[in-house]
Amino acid sequence: MTAALNADLHCHSVVSDGTLTPEQLAVRAAANGVQLWALTDHDEVGGQARAQAAAQAQGMRYLTGCEISVTFAGKTVHIVGLGFDAEDPAIRQGLVDTRGGRGERAREMSAQLAAAGIPDAYEGALRYVGNPELISRTHFARFLVETGVCRDTGEVFRRFLTEGKPGFVPHRWASLRNAVQWITGAGGQAVIAHPARYGFTPNEEWALFSEFKAHGGTAVEVVTGSHTAAEAARYADTAREFGLAASRGSDFHSPDESHMDLGRLPPLPEDLTPVWTLLADRIR
Ligand code: AMP
Ligand code: MN
Ligand code: MN
Ligand code: MN
- Is the pLDDT at 236 greater than 80? The verdict is yes
**Residue 239 confidence (pLDDT) above 90:** yes
Handedness of CA 273, 75, 140, 102 (dihedral sign): positive
Question: What's the CA-to-centroid distance between 223 and ligand 1, angstroms?
Answer: 18
3-state SS, residue 36: strand
Residue 1: is its pLDDT beyond 90? no
pLDDT in tens, 186-207: 999 999 999 999 999 999 999 9
Question: Taking 90 as the threshold, does the pLDDT of residue 4 lie above it?
Answer: no
Ligand 1, atom 21, lies closest to the CA of 154
Looking at the CA of 40, which ligand is closest? 4
Residues 61-109: pLDDT tens digits? 999 999 999 999 999 999 999 999 999 999 999 999 999 999 999 999 9
Q: How far is the CA of 170 from the centre of ligand 1 (A)?
A: 14
Q: List, edge to edge, every strand of the sheet that includes 189-192.
A: 65-72, 75-82, 189-192, 219-224, 245-249
Alpha helix (H) residue ranges in the chain: 22-31, 48-57, 89-99, 102-115, 121-126, 137-146, 153-156, 176-185, 202-214, 229-242
- Average of pLDDT values for 4-20? 97
- Distance in angstroms (rounded) separating the CA atoms of residues 244 and 95: 25
H or E element at residue 16: none
| Radius of gyration of the chain from its Cα atoms, rounded to whole angstroms | 18
Does ligand 1 have an atom closer than 6 angstroms to the CB of 153?
Answer: yes
Mutate to test the pocket of ligand 1, among 67, 138, 151, 168 (most ligand atoms within 8 A of CB): 138
Instruction: Please provide the CATH number assigned to the domain covering 7-98+172-282.
Output: 3.20.20.140
User: 235 pLDDT exceeds 90?
Assistant: yes
What pLDDT was estimated at residue 3?
A: 72
Instruction: State the distance from the centre of ligand 1 to the C-alpha of 41, rounded, in angstroms.
Output: 12
Is the entire prediction scored with pTM above 0.95? yes
Q: How far apart are CA 224 and CA 221, in angstroms?
A: 7
**Residue among 17, 163, 168, 221 to mutate when testing ligand 1 (max atoms within 8 A of CB):** 17
Tell me the percentage of the chain whose pLDDT exceeds 70: 99
253 CB within 6 A, ligand 1: yes
Q: Of all residues in the chain, what percent carry a pLDDT higher than 90?
A: 99
At the second CATH level, the architecture of 102-161 is: Orthogonal Bundle (1.10)
Pick from 245, 261, 253: which is nearest to 3 by CA? 245
Residues of the chain with CATH 1.10.150.650: 102-161
C-alpha pair distances (Å), 200 with each of 75, 85, 207: 9, 32, 10
Q: CA dihedral in degrees (238, 243, 245, 246; nearest 10)?
A: 10
Q: Where in the chain is the domain with CATH 3.20.20.140?
A: 7-98+172-282
Query: Which atom of ligand 1 is least distant from the CA of 162?
Result: 16
